[in-house]
Amino acid sequence: GENVEQHPSTLSVQEGDSAVIKCTYSDSASNYFPWYKQELGKRPQLIIDIRSNVGEKKDQRIAVTLNKTAKHFSLHITETQPEDSAVYFCAASEKEEYGNKLVFGAGTILRVKS
Amino acid sequence: NAGVTQTPKFQVLKTGQSMTLQCAQDMNHEYMSWYRQDPGMGLRLIHYSVGAGITDQGEVPNGYNVSRSTTEDFPLRLLSAAPSQTSVYFCASSYLASSYEQYFGPGTRLTVT
């Protein structure tokens, strides 16, 4: 089955700097790669996603890039702000007979220091 | 829309007790799933369902049962609670075909002593 590895496990940046979180996946058939943000004590919420027919997607300060050949994808946050502090999870979809199952990475704790 | 709801928010069980975590969604989503979240281990899939009457196992199904009698509800049953089941449990739902975004419930924090 699919396996997703996420690095780093913790990341501290100064406010205004950029943050990059990287994930690798094992199943070349996976075709959907979402990123979720989880604030302390809250539920995970989707912040951006990318499908396998696209190499890059951007939404304001957040961007995701996908390299299908190398089987890795990355989250880029520019001009970080204290409210970006949270746990970020990447995931990859595992194709099933019906629909898709998401396999999550272990998460990255992002701390933005002001 | 209430989205995805879960009850209870918190629960303490003794080893060997059984209980059911409730999950409901009002978005007419076909796909529903249960995850457990443990520190440093991300979200691990317990069971999932692609529609009423259809369920399947995820990565960590042992000790848990599910059923899906309606589109809206997807309860998770702990048969005989063990301390290793201490975790935060999230239910999630999504459309099967048109959209892959999974919407999560608020979670249930379970402690087994």
Q: Are B91 and B34 in contact (CB under 8 A)?
A: yes
pLDDT of residue B39: 83
Tell me the average pLDDT across A56-67. Answer: 96
* pLDDT tens-digit map of B35-81: 999 987 889 999 999 999 999 999 999 999 999 999 999 999 999 99
Q: Is the pLDDT of residue A36 over 60?
A: yes
For residue A8, the one-letter residue type is: P
Tell me the average pLDDT across A12-26. Answer: 98
Tell me the average pLDDT across B26-33. Answer: 93
Chain B partners within 8 Å of A86 (Cβ): none
CB–CB contact A6 B44 (8 Å): no
Cα dihedral sign for A107, B80, B17, B21? positive
Residue of A nearest to B89 (CA): A43
Cα→Cα distances A39→A89, B15, B41, B75, Å = 11, 30, 16, 25
Residue whose pair of structure tokens reads 């007979």 in the numeric block: A97
Chain B partners within 8 Å of A34 (Cβ): 100-102
The residues of A whose Cβ lies within 8 A of any Cβ of B are 1, 6, 9, 32, 34, 42-46, 49, 89, 91, 93, 96, 98-107
Q: How far apart are CA A8 and CA B92, in angstroms?
A: 26
Please compute, for residue B48, the number of CA atoms within 13 A of its CA located in the half-sphere on the CB side.
26
* pLDDT tens-digit map of A72-108: 999 999 999 999 999 999 999 876 655 668 899 999 9
CB–CB contact A103 B45 (8 Å): yes
Cα B50–B57–B107 angle (5° rounding)?
75
Cα→Cα distances B10→A40, A48, B45, B81, B111, Å = 16, 30, 20, 15, 8
Q: Are A8 and A90 in contact (CB under 8 A)?
A: no
Average pLDDT over chain B, rounded to an integer:
93
Residue B46 C-alpha, separation from nearest chain A C-alpha, in angstroms:
11
Please give the backbone phi and psi of residue B85, each rounded to the nearest 5 degrees, phi first: -95, 5
Chain B partners within 8 Å of A99 (Cβ): 30-31, 50, 96-97
Q: Are A60 and A78 in contact (CB under 8 A)?
A: no
CB–CB contact B104 A44 (8 Å): yes
CB–CB contact B90 A44 (8 Å): yes
Q: How far apart are CA A94 and CA A6, in angstroms?
A: 17
Nearest to A102 among B51, B96, B102 (CB): B102
Q: Which of B1, B5, B7 is nearest to B105 (CA)?
A: B5
